[in-house]
Structure 1
């Protein structure tokens, strides 16, 4: 995917815009009265297109991705339709007052670095529904998670998802459920939704710890008390923990804990960075 750098020096891909346009369009078809709050708008695309005629290929690439996946029974959609779908979740699309609001919250691709690395790295498409100011529904799609991505598991929700990708949905009071993302399995597999739960392990040296791949165990405060190994077959005593660092920097770590693949994830973050990212963690927190 083409990597773009926006005016704020953050990176975005064509897929970010395409996924936002697609989900925005589908949500508007199903729930037209509920606004969307998302990460992108079309200002960067429009300004690039105006500044360089060659940048029209950017709009065409996004539109091509969109039209390939969208469920549209109406007339053919134009480039402007795609840009409007993106803008439905843009920063100026809706304003809120002091009253608790109901809205969708979307991160089209969380974990851009993992997305760009390819099929062995994890990234997440995150969607949440906030109702009257309270989180009600969380959805995470992780296209590259398989039943062998991280360690061994007895979790039926993952074992029932051969191939690439799972979809995780959580509703307040109804638990957390997963299903495979493979299109053929959605219609042919019996009991496609599997309920999942966190690892019940309560002993540190028997738990599975997860850190982002840009960190090392030596950076963690717990390293003063525990050594670590990444070999599940290696005997561990009460002073050694099992470590995985395959979750990248995305919200896949929430998904891995929610489905029981990991027991604990540890995140080191500066206060200002943590506050900036709180909004994009809500679907993971609910799951």
Structure 2
């Protein structure tokens, strides 16, 4: 479905009638005033946008030094930076001020920066963003804020719970690669076991001006791709996006900063005509669909019994973003032995895809169970893996997965 077909809003029911394209101005005018989690979504958009600015500034500082002293490596050989910890501390502090009773489930804890003497670096980048009520933040304030979302910070139990889920930077390898690679700041609100709100910020996202009806005439004439997007979803109210460029570029015109456009998944109905993305750590040949189709990365050379595999990008959330925006049709992840699938790699992406008209299940067609980890809500256990699609293709793909398919 074309993004040019936007839907007008019934502000009482949150239902949409498709008949025109519109660009929405001001804060979150796409939400009805009666939207149950309006305040939470507005706060999430604000902190994610500011966190994206933090990432861009830290990236510039890392690029200007040769020591790489702001980069660490975890025990699982994945990189982590001052930006990861800075974003988690900043968002933790801001959410605690606004919603003190809602716990946070997030990727990082302070162990790494305590042992590698980076706490002061993190304190510096956070103090640049937070406006404390009385005095500047201390080192302990920042460490405590990081650990508020860390492992063992909160015990939930088996009953449905309400909590935030944060991935401070999904795709840190992409963050470190440069301006072309995608990475995402992702924040979701889970209410009684269901995802109610989701916001993703992607500073390096580029839109070709000819494909984006939300760009004004001056930008279209310049031929310069817009830089960065923030995507927001509220249960029952759709998925929307706006540009980040005005926050990331002080020279950009502020008159267009608040424009929002509705997001839709693409309209592909045929498996062989769909556009696929897979984890950068996996290959097409490791997936059951490879028994029916080979793959190519060249859109001009897709042959018979072949599908288009989009270039890999780091992290899972950017793949969700690609499906929710209509750039990709399908994202398939296969569970691997000894690999723990974390909730923050999926929660915000799930609601953005669902509200854009797509579908997300495990390989047996079951919804992703966010409460499978009854103690900490940090891990999910999707049978076989995860399938994210535009909805039209979902059942076809499920039928192509043999019952014998399992974790590899």
In which range does the TM-score fall when normalised by the shorter chain?
0.7 to 0.9
Aligned to 1:52: none
Quick check: 2:161–2:191 contact (8 Å CA) kept in 1? yes
Quick check: 2:171–2:315 contact (8 Å CA) kept in 1? yes
Distance 2:78 2:140 in 1: 24
Q: CA RMSD in A?
A: 2.8
Task: Tell me whether 1:22 sits opposite 2:90 in the alignment.
Answer: yes
Aligned to 2:314: 248
Quick check: 1:157–1:259 contact (8 Å CA) kept in 2? no
Quick check: 1:198–1:258 contact (8 Å CA) kept in 2? yes
Q: What is the CA-CA distance between 1:241 and the residue it aligns to?
A: 2.0
Task: Tell me whether 1:142 sits opposite 2:202 in the alignment.
Answer: yes
My pick for the range that moved more, 178-187 or 84-93, is: 178-187
Distance 2:236 2:73 in 1: 41
Distance 2:231 2:153 in 1: 28
Task: Tell me whether 1:90 sits opposite 2:158 in the alignment.
Answer: no
Name the SS of the counterpart of 1:95 in structure 2: coil
Aligned with residue 119 of structure 1, among 166, 179, 188: 179
Q: CA 1:153 to 1:226, structure 2 compared with 1: closer, same or farther past 3 Å?
A: farther
Distance 1:45 1:127 in 2: 22
Distance 1:8 1:217 in 2: 23
Aligned with residue 255 of structure 2, among 188, 213, 218: 188
Distance 1:139 1:9 in 2: 27
Unaligned runs of 5+ in 2: 1-61, 63-69, 353-408
Q: TM-score, normalised by structure 2?
A: 0.60
Task: Tell me whether 1:264 sits opposite 2:324 in the alignment.
Answer: no
Q: TM-score, normalised by structure 1?
A: 0.83
Distance 1:93 1:213 in 2: 31
Unaligned runs of 5+ in 1: 50-54
Quick check: 1:38–1:106 contact (8 Å CA) kept in 2? yes
Q: What is the CA-CA distance between 1:138 and the residue it aligns to?
A: 1.4
Name the SS of the counterpart of 1:165 in structure 2: strand
